[in-house]
């Protein structure tokens, strides 16, 4: 086996930088503003929740199918890169479509197609770590992956926020186009780097199977034989339900409860502080988990995240929000690297992309279910000013704690 060097860790995880940058900027800043172009303030959380919930349901379906198809592919230049190239190239015109959308219905359709395209690439891409990284270094590789994803999410947040603070109710559209162009250019560059630099082993064509088998087989897991993987999925689902709830509705919380000026910039600062905390711990947490195990670090991360949300629940100040951002960042960074390393430990050999697609079903599923709290927020806000956001924070605390405790249902010394 060829030596796996330091640069190899970056090559197999680089695409995550661009994909996370795209989705972080879209979900946190661009989509809330675009939804507000088409619906009133009283219903903006509801429509934003419906939009992103539906799109993430598509992501849950698309990613395991794309991963399973790539597991069974026999292309000469690898099983993964053809899907990565196709999916990422399709994302570019769909990003432009976010800017062209002239109604909520049109935005809804384009966002759904963008989810399908992105996850066509992401499912196969995730198989690089278990397939190419040495078994004893997967925690380190997961740490590098998480580091680059977090850095990617941060890299575009503030530039996009600065641009879109000049965008108001569909006016000054040039600022929106500037933000979308930044995201598309970054995605194109990282796709080219991945396709050219990663050296896969040639794929071995698998036996042909029916279309129905190709669609439904990716979702089949023998829970008796892989019970620990099922508990892992449940824990990951709850953790990302909590984190995505805070992330998705942070801009509206900062606007409606705290009353900040320039809410896009205020939200970006909140997330950048969180990102700083993530970057501080994400790589060392992956390394430490190679020695001490994954579960203790991941479980402690869930409890720390719950404490961070409790800070916001107690004090509705922007200072408290920033303190909580640091706590959440450390928690999410440590969870990301150790939990993904745990996923690579639990996957079935020969089906790495399919199982990791299922693991990201939990990520996308948690993110999708988090959006359903949008109508709940609006309902309770009509009952009492800010009450909906208090309900949102309390629910997030419960999710984090439950996700941490479920990790101890996983058997073995992970």
pLDDT of residue 114: 96
pLDDT of residue 170: 62
**Cα 182 to Cα 127: distance, rounded to the nearest angstrom:** 27
Q: Which two tokens stand for residue 109?
A: 């359709």
Task: Match 């019970």 to its residue by tokens.
Answer: 227
pLDDT of residue 1: 44
SS3 130: helix
Q: Which two tokens stand for residue 264?
A: 């896009």
Decide if 281 contacts 265 (C-beta within 8 A).
no
**pLDDT < 70: residue spans in the chain:** 1-2, 169-171, 201-226, 347-354, 357, 360, 412-414
Nearest to 303 by CA among 361, 238, 368, 245: 238
Largest CA distance in the chain: 64
**Cα 297 to Cα 334: distance, rounded to the nearest angstrom:** 7
Ordered by start, the domain boundaries in the chain are 6-198+225-409
pLDDT of residue 16: 92
Task: Match 């429509």 to its residue by tokens.
Answer: 47
Nearest to 189 by CA among 6, 19, 63, 8: 19
Decide if 342 contacts 129 (C-beta within 8 A).
no
Evaluate whether the domain defined by 6-198+225-409 bears CATH number 3.30.70.990: no
Q: Which two tokens stand for residue 29?
A: 């800043």
Decide if 357 contacts 126 (C-beta within 8 A).
yes
Please name every residue paired with 168 in a beta bridge, in sequence order, or none if there are none: 171
Contacts of 311 (CB under 8 A, 6+ apart): 320, 323, 324, 327
Q: Which tens digit of pLDDT belongs to each residue from 46-94?
A: 888 889 888 878 887 888 788 878 877 777 777 889 999 999 999 999 9
Nearest to 236 by CA among 349, 146, 127, 367: 367
Contacts of 29 (CB under 8 A, 6+ apart): 157, 160, 161, 164, 179, 251, 264, 267, 268
Q: Which two tokens stand for residue 108?
A: 């809804």
Nearest to 235 by CA among 66, 365, 324, 323: 365
State the alpha helices, DSSP H only, in 198-294: 211-216, 227-253, 263-292
Contacts of 322 (CB under 8 A, 6+ apart): 269, 270, 273
Torsion of CA 255, 259, 264, 268, to 10 degrees: -110
């Amino acid at each position: 086996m060829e030596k796996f060097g330091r640069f190899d860790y970056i090559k197999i995880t680089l695409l995550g930088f661009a994909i996370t940058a795209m989705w972080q900027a879209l979900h946190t800043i661009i989509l809330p503003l675009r939804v507000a172009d088409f619906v009133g303030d009283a219903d903006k959380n509801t429509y934003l929740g419906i939009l992103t919930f539906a799109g993430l349901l598509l992501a849950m379906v698309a990613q395991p199918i794309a991963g399973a198809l790539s597991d069974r592919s026999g292309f000469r230049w690898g099983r993964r890169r053809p899907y990565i190239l196709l999916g990422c190239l399709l994302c570019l015109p769909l990003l432009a479509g976010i800017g062209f959308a002239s109604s909520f219905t049109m935005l809804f359709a384009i966002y759904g197609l963008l989810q399908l395209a992105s996850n066509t690439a992401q499912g196969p891409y995730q198989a690089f770590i278990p397939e190419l990284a040495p078994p004893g270094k997967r925690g380190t590789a997961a740490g590098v992956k998480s580091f680059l994803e977090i850095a990617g999410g941060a890299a575009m947040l503030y530039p996009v926020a600065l641009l879109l603070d000049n965008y108001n109710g569909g006016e000054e559209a040039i600022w929106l186009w500037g933000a979308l162009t930044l995201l598309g250019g970054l995605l194109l560059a990282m796709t080219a780097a991945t396709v050219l630099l990663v050296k896969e082993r040639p794929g071995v064509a698998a036996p042909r199977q029916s279309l129905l088998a190709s669609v439904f087989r990716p979702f089949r897991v023998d829970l008796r034989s892989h019970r620990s993987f099922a508990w892992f999925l449940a824990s990951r689902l709850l953790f990302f339900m909590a984190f995505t709830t805070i992330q998705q509705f942070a801009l509206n919380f900062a606007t409606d409860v705290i009353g900040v000026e320039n809410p896009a910039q205020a939200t970006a600062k909140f997330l950048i502080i969180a990102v700083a905390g993530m970057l501080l711990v994400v790589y060392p947490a992956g390394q430490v988990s190679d020695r001490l195990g994954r579960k203790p670090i991941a479980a402690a991360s869930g409890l720390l995240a719950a404490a961070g949300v409790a800070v916001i629940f107690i004090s509705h100040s922007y200072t408290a929000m920033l303190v909580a951002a640091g706590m959440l960042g450390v928690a999410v960074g440590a969870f990301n690297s150790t939990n993904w390393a745990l996923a690579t430990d639990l996957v079935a050999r020969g089906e790495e992309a399919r199982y990791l697609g299922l693991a990201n079903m939990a990520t996308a599923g948690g993110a999708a279910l988090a959006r359903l709290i949008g109508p709940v927020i609006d309902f309770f806000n009509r009952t009492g000013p800010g009450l909906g956001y208090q309900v949102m924070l309390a629910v997030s605390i419960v999710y984090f704690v439950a996700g941490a405790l479920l990790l101890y249902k996983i058997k073995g010394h992970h």
